[in-house]
Chain A
Amino acid sequence: MEYKATKQGYADALKELGHENEKVLVMDADVAKATLTEQFEAEFPNRFFNCGVQEQNMLSAAAGLALEGFIPFASTFGVFATCRAGDQMRSSIAYPKLNVKIGVTHCGISVGGDGASHQSNEDIGMARTLPNMTVIVPGDYEESRLATHAAAKMKGPVYLRFGRDKYPVVPEIHGSFEIGKAKTLREGTDVTIITTGILVNEGLVAATTLEEKGHSVRVVHMHTIKPLDTEAVLKAARETKGIVTAEEHSILGGLGEAVAGVVAENHPCPVQRVGVMDTFGESGQSQELLDLYGLRAPNIVEKAMKIIS
């Protein structure tokens, strides 16, 4: 299995965009070495703006640059964009619907050693509840690259979520990328697994395990949390016995609740959520934390069996 950083997909796309569109600017808040936007800075020093440890100013200033016709990609860690600068994201960017792209790294429990202060398990919920905000959580390096390009092409605020570590490369999700259009990776009739972000690989592994046990499993990769592909969700609700959601995020506020809401209102069916329970994280190695916090294929299998049996 090949492993590659999702944030590298973001950094590579930014460099490509730098050549394609002179309106594209990149901002960071003293974590350019960590988000990898320093790679854009190396190629386009005059279109890169390090704001220092000032996330709030960065996001409102990005709004200002958007008002002047630029396409700023404001970059920091997920926890600082949404929690430290949540009001700036809401009032300066989402409300006036400005063309700012918020590219965040170090999301989820797999941040690792820095621990709870840096592990953003709530950011999807915060971004998703803002009107006008598009929220994209790519599954691997290549999808991160494609998603960044797609975000640059659309007009309006976009929240792009990446991780810190290297994660499995998943060829099944490569090729095309359309914001708001889920990818059905496997067809099946017993149960549907809906994944977002880096848990897509765990979803596929879980499906294989279940298939070996004789169950027919559908796998849907929901790279866009908002606007949610309600068509794909309802199709799963109608055609399979129930849905397991899987995300590297709290079970509150994220993919699981988004899916459950759509299903409950339109076509009730069992929904089981795999995600971080309502708890803060802790320090550890990123891969071991994914185990400890129950974000692995066996956890998905367990939830799926509750629906099937």
Chain B
Amino acid sequence: MLSKEKHELLRVKAKDIRREIVTMVHRANSGHVGGSLGAADIISALYYHVMRHDPKNPEWEDRDRFILSKGHCTPVIYAALADCGYFPKEDLLEFRRPGSHLQGHPYQPKTPGIDASTGTLGIGISTGVGMALGAKLKKQDHYYYILCGDGEIQEGQVWEAAAFANKYKLDNVIGFVDRNYLQTDGYSEKVMPMDPLAPKWESFGWKVFEIDGHSFEEIIDTIEKAKKEKQPVMIIANTTKGKGVSFMEGEAEWHGKPPGKEDFEKAMLELE
């Protein structure tokens, strides 16, 4: 059970992350605000409660790994990593700037706390299952948390990774599908229907849970359950893209559009 204090901490951290997301994308005048805002609660739960990690020791062998398979949502992970202390917060000012380690998409060799390079949708989950197999070979007991977009899982490669994880019984993989029903070109079930989604993962040999991706209790309880499974787990997290900023919520246009001055100020007022 989540204590009241812990719940409050996660809520505050998620809000801080959201403020940082809007600020970074506005300042860079480039980046993906909607999918980042929608994932802020999952990231807050992972980095401030669930994951075994040490910002002072980003290369620690036994740490849990996080892979942002929907690599365009770097603002949400950069904000959390900076706040945890993986690198100075001032670095966020250089998001998407030449010479910065905070590239548009995650680049593992340069950014402390980034466990795999992504950006091409589909590659993150495959890299993740490969890492998870590596950990098994080394008899390590940490977990791989992999965040996929619901547009991303249309990629064939995702299902190749799903088959692989089943074959090698990778029970150290806990995936999320950020089910916001939106992608670049609009409503996902119109662009490329994937429902019913749970049976697809189940038939590939994954244990599936479906949750409210904005409920810290559900995220955390479900991860506890997932850890008891003897197979890879996919958590279908129902979310609202743009969560926290009323005029961005559920709006496809905020997928990759940076907020201008006016919208930025409106958004920041809502995130007070």
- CB of B62 closer than 8 Å to a CB of A: no
A 261-296 binary contact with B (CB < 8 Å = 1; else 0)? 000000000000000000000111000110010000
Pick from B103, B151, B183, B191: contact of A115, CB below 8 A. Answer: B103
* Segment at the A interface, from B84-92, B93-101, B131-139: B93-101
A-B contacts, CB under 8 A, total: 94
Q: How many residues of B are counted as interface, with CB atoms below 8 angstroms from the partner's CB atoms?
A: 32
* Segment at the B interface, from A29-37, A97-105, A299-307: A29-37
- CB of A143 closer than 8 Å to a CB of B: no
Check B156–A57 contact: CB distance below 8 A: yes
Check B104–A53 contact: CB distance below 8 A: no
Q: Which residues of A contact B71 (CB under 8 A)?
A: 117
Pick from A50, A83, A282, A284: contact of B191, CB below 8 A. Answer: A50
Interface of B is mostly: loop
Interface size class of A (residues with CB under 8 A): 20 to 34
Q: Which residues of A contact B29 (CB under 8 A)?
A: 113
Q: Which residues of A contact B120 (CB under 8 A)?
A: 79-80, 83-84, 117
- CB of B192 closer than 8 Å to a CB of A: yes
Pick from B104, B118, B155: contact of A114, CB below 8 A. Answer: B104
A181 → chain B closest CB, angstroms: 36
Q: Which residues of A contact B107 (CB under 8 A)?
A: 115-116
Q: Known: A53-B155, A283-B97. Contact between A33 and B184, CB under 8 A?
A: yes
Within 8 A of B (CB), among A131-145: none
Query: Please, could you name 29 A-B residue pairs with CB atoms under 8 Å apart, sorted by A?
Result: A30-B151, A30-B183, A30-B184, A30-B185, A30-B191, A30-B192, A32-B184, A50-B191, A52-B154, A52-B183, A52-B192, A53-B121, A53-B122, A53-B154, A54-B156, A57-B156, A84-B120, A113-B29, A113-B30, A113-B96, A114-B104, A114-B105, A115-B96, A115-B103, A115-B104, A116-B119, A117-B104, A284-B96, A289-B98
* B interface with A by C-beta (< 8 Å): 28-31, 71-72, 96-100, 103-105, 107, 117-122, 151-152, 154-156, 183-185, 191-192, 256
